[in-house]
Amino acid sequence: GAVVSQHPSWVICKSGTSVKIECRSLDFQATTMFWYRQFPKQSLMLMATSNEGSKATYEQGVEKDKFLINHASLTLSTLTVTSAHPEDSSFYICSARVLGEGVEQYFGPGTRLTVT
C-alpha cells in the first residue's frame, strides 16, 4: 500500500520551455502532497506544500510564478516548471500523506529534469 507514482521519470527540455510533472497516489487518497528538489549529493529541500482544492504554500526562496502547482484531486498533483533554465535542472520528488491516517509521507520515484 501507499504507492506514489511520478510521470515522467526523466525529461530533457530546451531553455525557455515549460515542463509538467505529475504526481499520483495510486492506492490511497492524499490529504496533502509535497514537492521537493534534490541536487546531487544533497538532501531533499521542500519546495511547496499543496492541499486538494487550495493554493499551494511555497517555501521561502521558491518562486511561485516559476513553479506552478495544481492539486486538482485527492490523487493528483502537478508541478509545472515554467520558462525553464539550466539552473532548474534537478531531481524533483513528490510525496503524499494518506488522508485521515498517520503522519508519514510516502515518496514517488522522482523525476530527473535536464534543461539544455
Partner 1 sequence: EDQVTQSPEALRLQEGESSSLNCSYTVSGLRGLFWYRQDPGKGPEFLFTLYSAGEEKEKERLKATLTKKESFLHITAPKPEDSATYLCAVQARGAGSYQLTFGKGTKLSVIP
- The rounded distance, in Å, linking the Cα atoms of 93 and 69 is 13
Q: 34: helix, coil or strand?
A: strand
24 binds partner 1, rule: CB under 8 A: no
34 binds partner 1, rule: CB under 8 A: yes
Strands of the chain (E only): list them: 4-7, 10-13, 19-25, 30-38, 45-51, 57-58, 67-73, 76-81, 90-98, 106-107, 111-115
Residues in 37-96 at the binding interface with partner 1, rule: CB under 8 A: 42-44, 46, 49, 51, 57, 91, 93, 95
112 binds partner 1, rule: CB under 8 A: yes
We find the least distance from the C-beta atom of residue 14 to partner 1, in angstroms, to be: 23
We find the least distance from the C-beta atom of residue 45 to partner 1, in angstroms, to be: 8
We find the least distance from the C-beta atom of residue 94 to partner 1, in angstroms, to be: 8
**Closest to 91 measured CA to CA, from 32, 35, 17:** 35
* Residues binding partner 1 (CB under 8 A): 2, 4, 6, 32, 34, 42-44, 46, 49, 51, 57, 91, 93, 95, 97, 102-110, 112
